[in-house]
Amino acid sequence: MTQVDTVTRILDAAEALFAERGFAETSLRSITTRADVNLAAVNYHFGSKKALIQAVFSRFLGPFYKLVEASLDNHEKTQPDTVLSIEDILHFVAHAMTAVSKGDRSKLTIFMRLLGLAYNQGQGHLRKFLQREYRSLFRRVMALVTKATPDLDPMERFWRFHFMLGSAAFTLSSMEHLMAIVEDDLSIKCTEEDVVGYLLPFLAAGIRAK
């Protein structure tokens, strides 16, 4: 089946280039050249560049979504009436994230970068797309966070939740550059797992501040 190969090659190439340069800065021609595919193939298989961006995103979103949902479903069945701690929640999410992007750091990078762009791009199509696909999962996680932090003012909880999201999106999407700086300044290498290991306690402490 050559059509599946073409679609996959386009997605792979787009993924790598998006992660490396951004979306507006990546042309269809650079994608199709890298994928060794004809220019028209993108519009034939995806319809438009916007649709391609969303398709790249969906490749993570789908599995990630299912994995988190499955973890939470499983937990609710095996241990109902147990209130999850912030650490537990973060662990579920982080585990799904690393499982989905397993073996390919750029997958995590592009996922986070897309997330950041979706929030920043004022009139962007990404924001609506993301909201549409993510909404129910977002609400479910937020409900768990609410249970884990019952004393927190709702407004403050909302913002702290997004502070967490921001930490993750920013640092994980520019992880490569930051790792280069760290190696340059401290002459110590560090891995993706190290960073996540640093991140989770930071987030948990932040949301429990005061």
Of residues 8, 120, 136, 191, which one binds a copy of itself by CB under 8 A?
Answer: 120
The entry of DNA, a copy of itself, none that residue 38 binds, CB within 5 to 8 Å by partner kind: DNA
Residue 115 and residue 127: Cα distance in Å, rounded?
Answer: 9
What are the residues binding DNA (CB under 7 A)?
1-3, 5-6, 26-30, 37-45, 48-50
Is there binding between residue 106 and a copy of itself (CB under 8 A)? no
Q: Which stretch binds a copy of itself (CB under 8 A): 32-40, 70-78, 94-102, 189-197?
A: 189-197
Is there binding between residue 91 and a copy of itself (CB under 8 A)? no
Of 56, 73, 71, 47, the closest CA to residue 19 belongs to: 56
Is there binding between residue 87 and a copy of itself (CB under 8 A)? no
Of 12, 165, 17, 144, the closest CA to residue 72 belongs to: 144
Burial grade of 139 (CB within 10 A; 0-12, 13-18, 19 or more): exposed
Is there binding between residue 27 and a copy of itself (CB under 8 A)? no
The entry of a copy of itself, DNA, none that residue 170 binds, CB within 5 to 8 Å by partner kind: a copy of itself
Residue 19 and residue 91: Cα distance in Å, rounded?
Answer: 25
Rg of the chain (C-alpha set):
19
Q: Is the dihedral of CA 100, 205, 170, 178 positive or negative?
A: negative
Residue 94 and residue 101: Cα distance in Å, rounded?
Answer: 11
The entry of a copy of itself, DNA, none that residue 89 binds, CB within 5 to 8 Å by partner kind: none
Please answer whether residues 68 and 93 qualify as being in contact, where contact means their C-beta atoms are separated by less than 8 angstroms.
Answer: yes
Q: Which is nearer to a copy of itself, 58 or 174 (CB)?
A: 174
Closest separation between CB of residue 62 and DNA, Å?
20
Closest separation between CB of residue 54 and DNA, Å?
12
Of 179, 209, 177, the closest CA to residue 195 belongs to: 179
Contact positions toward a copy of itself, by CB under 8 A? 20-22, 24-25, 113, 116, 119-123, 127, 154-156, 158-160, 162-171, 173-174, 176-178, 181-182, 185-186, 188, 190, 194-195, 198-199, 201-210
